[in-house]
Amino acid sequence: MIARRFPVEVGLVGNCSEILPVLQELVKEAERNDYMEEVAKLKNEWIELLKQEFESDKTPLRAPYILGVLNEMIDPDAIITLDVGEHCWWFGRNFWMKKTQKMIMSGNLASMGFGFPAALTSQLMYPDKQVVCITGDGGFSMVMADFLTAVKYQLPIKVFIFNNKQLGMIMQEQKMEGYENWQTELQDLDYAAYARCCGGMGIKVEKPEDLPAAVEKAFKSEKPVIVDIDTDPKRFV
């Protein structure tokens, strides 16, 4: 498939661990100061745009604000697992990963329910690490019985649910394709109450000013925790 998308002068096929060292010996270092200045300018503009999206006073809570708070409070060496859905868009856009953190997500199409089992495995493999699962209500509801497993084995996983009572990504895809919104509404559920019923800790967040204290409380707990956060289902609309 070499040159399918862009013309090349020489197409190379092989093991990158063998090819790249050879190529590195052949190329010369180039200084492109104008290009680097342009990239730096674009990066600064992008950062300013993300700051404008923070919106810490909006109800229901905005995803960029939630991720901004988590970005400041998650351990620098934490393991972060993602489910499948709209929250992945926001995570990729608004969360600033540190080099010392690890992130696990599914690369498969529509593989909802991935996030929490990945968190279970991560906590079992790395019991001394902070493990954080960021998920939507759609993905988590597919595997929510596994929260009992976390309680049973005393796995202190912190689950942050972006609860928009929708299959958010599907809703947006339908809208982008010009279809009427159909069958994306989810049954409302108090996931914080569910966590307490299972023997874990449950925290409900409905106001943006309550989020930092809720996140801090979750991270201080030695129990598995669900932080159920009301988010805006029509953020893109």
pLDDT single digits (tens) 78-119:
999 999 998 999 999 999 999 999 999 998 888 999 999 999
- In the predicted structure, residue 198 carries a pLDDT above the cut 90: yes
What is the predicted pLDDT for the residue at 173? 83
What is the side-by-side order of every strand in the sheet holding 102-104? 102-104, 79-82, 131-136, 158-163, 225-230, 201-205
Residue with tokens 């674009």: 42
Query: Residue 45: its pLDDT value, please?
Result: 97
d(CA 204, CA 89): 23
Each domain of the chain, given as residue ranges in start order, spans: 33-230
Tokens 């929510």 identify what position?
Answer: 144
pLDDT for position 55:
87
Q: Are 174 and 181 in contact (CB under 8 A)?
A: yes
Q: Give CA–CA dist 228/136, Å, rounded.
A: 10
Mean local confidence (pLDDT), 142-151: 97
What class is the 33-230 domain? alpha beta
How far is it, in rounded angstroms, from Cα 157 to Cα 119?
7
pLDDT at residue 210, rounded to an integer: 98
Please give the pLDDT value at position 18. Answer: 94
What is the structure's pLDDT at 227?
A: 98
- Cα 214 to Cα 4, 86, 98, 99, 205: the distances in Å are 50, 22, 23, 26, 7
Q: Is 161 exposed, middle or buried (0-12, 13-18, 19+ CB in 10 A)?
A: buried
pLDDT of 135 strictly over 90:
yes
> Of 169 and 56, which is predicted with more confidence?
56
**In this structure, what DSSP letter does residue 185 have?**
B
Q: Provide the residue count of the chain.
A: 237
Give the per-residue pLDDT at 235: 67
CB atoms closer than 10 angstroms to residue 164: 26
Q: What is the pLDDT of residue 29?
A: 87
Report pLDDT for 236: 57
The pLDDT of residue 202 is above 80: yes
The string over 31-47, giving b where at least 16 C-beta atoms fall within 10 Å of a residue's C-beta and e elsewhere, is eeeeeeeeeeeeeeeee
Tokens of residue 164, six digits: 């928009």
Over 60: is that where the pLDDT of 237 sits? no
In angstroms, the first-to-last Cα distance of the chain is 38
**Residue 38: which pLDDT band, with cuts at 50, 70 and 90?**
very high
Low-confidence winner among 43-57, 119-133, 212-226 (lowest mean pLDDT): 43-57
CB 68 within 8 A of CB 54: yes
Question: Average pLDDT of 3-7?
Answer: 91
Residue 148 CB burial class (10 angstroms; 0-12, 13-18, ≥19): middle
Task: Write out the DSSP string of 144-172.
Answer: GGGHHHHHHTT---EEEEEE-SB-HHHHH
The pLDDT, as a whole number, for residue 233 is: 73
Strand partners, 79: 102, 131
